[in-house]
Amino acid sequence: MTRNTFLKFLFLSLSNVRRLVFLNLIFLPPLILFIYCFVHLIPLAVRYIDSMNISVLYVHPDYKKLAIVVIGSDRVVVNHLVYVFERRDLNRLRKHLFTSELNESSTLILSENALAVGEIQYPGQQLTLLGKGGEQVVTIRIEDVKEGSIEILFYNSRIPQADRMAVLYLVGLIASFLFIAGPLVGISDYTQRVVFHESKGFSYLFDSIRSSFGKSVIICLFFSVIIGAIVMNIYFYIFIMSTDISVFIAAINFWMLVFFFFILIWVYPISAMSRDESLWKVMKKSLFISFDNFDFTLRVLLLLCVMVVISVVTLFLMPGIAGIFSFLNTALKDLSSRYSSQENESTS
């Protein structure tokens, strides 16, 4: 990326600061709603999925946050084990969970640090686990245990109070996602007109958002699912598995993440420029531009990371989503001029 490109972006931003701030203000309410609903909904969703197999019937009132771990034995004559830990102790014990079947010292460490330990003898068993002082810690029901599996249920005494709000959180999450994802191509199109020095009113912005709403949602949903899945894989192999091979797999996933970011970086500007093209063609164009101009794109990506951090600090008012799209469109304009000059040289 050239110094000229960045200076052009700064000049355009200062010249159109009111427009950019206005766009960011429109974008801010659904973003706040999305973050609020997401933060509250994820623990409920995780708890619901886990509780499909593990039901908590009773918890001692002294324990507010627990981790209930079920380790399925892959040996015929050995029963499945259940450990109950304080939630804060689980992270330092994760590596012992995955080696307990192979390492007796790991089993000993788990037993010493657990509040209670028990064995599952048959599916659907109701099990009461007693603490080291003989007190009843939890009563649970395990529907089924797969051999060689490890299941973790996080119990939080405060979460059941929020269960009735789950539907409202879900509706708020979906609505805010649509209001965030839908306008992105339209905002990119409007900032593109600004970059190309075309005078357009806000009526053009709303027309552009309306005509590209569906396509914009599909793009955002596609990349959200892909990138979210890769991030979850990285987290799992680094923080949960924590073995030599898992670090290697996490490294592969990291480069996959970088690869998709290289595709994503030009998708919205190209979508605004090529309205009639399919997402697949837009992605291929974005991939070609990224790797045909690898050094340029890498610098753009690094600057984008800095801009996102600044946006978070300023509550997405500056540069915010409008400033980020303005920056990308300025960079794409610079690249387009390079390709145009190459064509002119080849024809002359």
Q: What is the pTM of this model?
A: 0.71
Task: Tell the residue number behind the tokens 């997402």, with chain if given.
Answer: 279
Stretch 182-188: mean pLDDT? 93
**Pure H helices in 182-243:** 184-195, 202-235
- pLDDT of residue 109 exceeding 80: yes
- pLDDT of residue 329 exceeding 70: yes
Q: Beta strands 116-120 and 80-86: pairing type?
A: antiparallel
- pLDDT of residue 76 exceeding 60: no
171-28-331 Cα angle (round to 5): 120
Residue type, 275: R
Q: Residue 141: phi, psi to the nearest 5?
A: -125, 125
pLDDT at position 242: 57
Predicted confidence band at 215 (pLDDT cuts at 50, 70, 90)?
very high
Stretch 95-123: mean pLDDT? 79
81-83-87 Cα angle (round to 5): 155
C-alpha 265/C-alpha 286 separation (Å) is: 7
321-324-330 Cα angle (round to 5): 140
pLDDT at position 74: 66
The pLDDT tens digits for 91-105 are: 888 777 776 665 778
Q: How many CB atoms lie within 10 A of CB 169?
A: 19
Side-chain-side CA neighbours of 132 within 13 Å: the count stands at 8
When mean pLDDT is compared across 42-46, 103-107, 137-141, 225-229, the lowest value belongs to: 42-46
C-alpha 199/C-alpha 195 separation (Å) is: 10
Stretch 124-150: mean pLDDT? 81
pLDDT at position 172: 93
Enter the DSSP assignment of 132: T
